[in-house]
């Protein structure tokens, strides 16, 4: 990919420390969805989020974004934020050379910027959360905040809607960043769990924010 064709959105200098709780703190929560976009589940989640007026962050795989750019645009048009989740979701990316890491990070970021019509890509999340110190640095140098999580719902194991809901209810704390998936397999349970969790989180006094 010709990386000279798309000027990267330049933000403030990024801290290479992994962000695992919201910067806002207090009774805030960030919902994050990985491994999309997918034609079946991303629109379902967008509908739930829109109905309940909740913002979320979507950590998208470059290859999938490239195949379905309209879905990326729907995500940003709805006011949500993008997170780069690499082009190919290679969990060993953090062990590669700096140039390979940069290629994966920046090519994917460029795909998301182009697909969204110029939206900034504020965050980067390592596939499988497999961070290395080098990968944290490359992410920050590319202008993307390394994004971790507080609660892993393990929804990708298809443990059931109740188990996904319970993982959040049992572990919620102020500033929690919650990991869900809108790709990588059937996600009906995730959609159902998020539908239940939004009103529950509100009843506990939580407001929905971006990680930073
Ligand atoms: Zn992933």
Question: Which is catalytic among the residues 89, 155, 181, 182?
Answer: 181
Report how many domains make up the chain. Answer: 1
- Report residue 128: phi and psi, to 5°: 60, 15
Which residue stretches of the chain are H helix?
A: 42-51, 62-67, 69-77, 98-116, 133-141, 161-171, 188-203
- Report residue 179: phi and psi, to 5°: -95, 120
CA atoms within 13 A on the CB side of 96: 15
pLDDT of residue 12: 59
pLDDT digit string (tens) for 73-87?
A: 999 999 999 999 999
pLDDT of residue 120: 96
Residue 18, domain member (yes or no): no
| Cβ within 8 Å of residue 61, ≥6 positions away | 35, 36, 85, 86, 87, 88, 89, 108, 183
What distance in angstroms lies between residue 184's CA and the mean position of ligand 1's atoms?
Answer: 8
Q: What's the distance, CA 4 to chain centroid? A: 25
CA distance linking residue 206 with residue 167, whole number of Å: 16
In this predicted structure, the answer to whether residue 30 has a pLDDT above a threshold of 60 is: yes
Residue pair 121/209 in contact (Cβ under 8 Å)? The answer is no
Residue pair 107/61 in contact (Cβ under 8 Å)? The answer is no
Residue 84 designated active-site: no
Residue 63, domain member (yes or no): yes
Token pair for residue 36? Answer: 């999309």
Residue 43, domain member (yes or no): yes
Residue 181 designated active-site: yes
Residue 16, domain member (yes or no): no
Residue 130, domain member (yes or no): yes
Helix (H, G, I), strand (E, B) or coil at 96: coil
Mean pLDDT of 198-209: 98
In this predicted structure, the answer to whether residue 2 has a pLDDT above a threshold of 90 is: no
Residue 33, domain member (yes or no): yes
pLDDT digit string (tens) for 172-189?
A: 999 999 999 999 999 999
pLDDT band at 1 (very low <50, low <70, confident <90, very high): very low
* Domain CATH code at residue 193: 3.20.20.370
pLDDT of residue 95: 96
Residue 52, domain member (yes or no): yes
Q: Which domain holds residue 110?
A: 28-208
What's the whole-model pTM score?
0.94
What distance in angstroms lies between residue 153's CA and the mean position of ligand 1's atoms?
Answer: 13
Residue 17, domain member (yes or no): no
Residue pair 147/177 in contact (Cβ under 8 Å)? The answer is yes
pLDDT digit string (tens) for 123-151?
A: 999 999 999 999 999 999 999 999 999 99
pLDDT of residue 33: 98
What distance in angstroms lies between residue 156's CA and the mean position of ligand 1's atoms?
Answer: 10
- Report residue 199: phi and psi, to 5°: -65, -35
CA atoms within 13 A on the CB side of 95: 5
What distance in angstroms lies between residue 125's CA and the mean position of ligand 1's atoms?
Answer: 8
What distance in angstroms lies between residue 58's CA and the mean position of ligand 1's atoms?
Answer: 11
């Amino acid at each position: 990919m010709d990386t000279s064709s798309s000027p990267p959105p330049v933000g403030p200098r990024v801290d290479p420390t992994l962000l695992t709780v919201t910067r806002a703190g207090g009774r805030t929560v960030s919902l994050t969805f990985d491994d999309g976009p997918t034609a079946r589940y991303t629109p379902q989640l967008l509908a739930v989020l829109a109905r309940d007026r909740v913002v979320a962050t979507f950590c998208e795989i470059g290859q999938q974004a490239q195949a379905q750019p309209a879905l990326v645009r729907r995500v940003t048009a709805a006011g949500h934020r993008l997170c780069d989740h690499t082009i190919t979701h290679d969990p060993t990316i953090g062990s590669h050379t700096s140039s390979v890491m940069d290629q994966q990070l920046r090519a994917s970021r460029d795909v998301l910027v182009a697909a969204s019509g110029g939206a900034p890509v504020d965050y980067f999340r390592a596939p499988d959360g497999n961070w290395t110190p080098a990968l944290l640095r490359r992410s920050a140098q590319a202008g993307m905040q390394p994004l971790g999580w507080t609660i892993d719902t393990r929804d990708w194991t298809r443990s059931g809607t109740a188990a996904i809901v319970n993982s959040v209810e049992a572990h919620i704390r102020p500033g929690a960043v919650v990991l869900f998936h809108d790709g990588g397999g059937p996600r009906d349970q995730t959609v159902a769990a998020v539908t239940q969790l939004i009103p529950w989180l509100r009843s506990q006094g939580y407001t929905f924010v971006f990680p930073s």
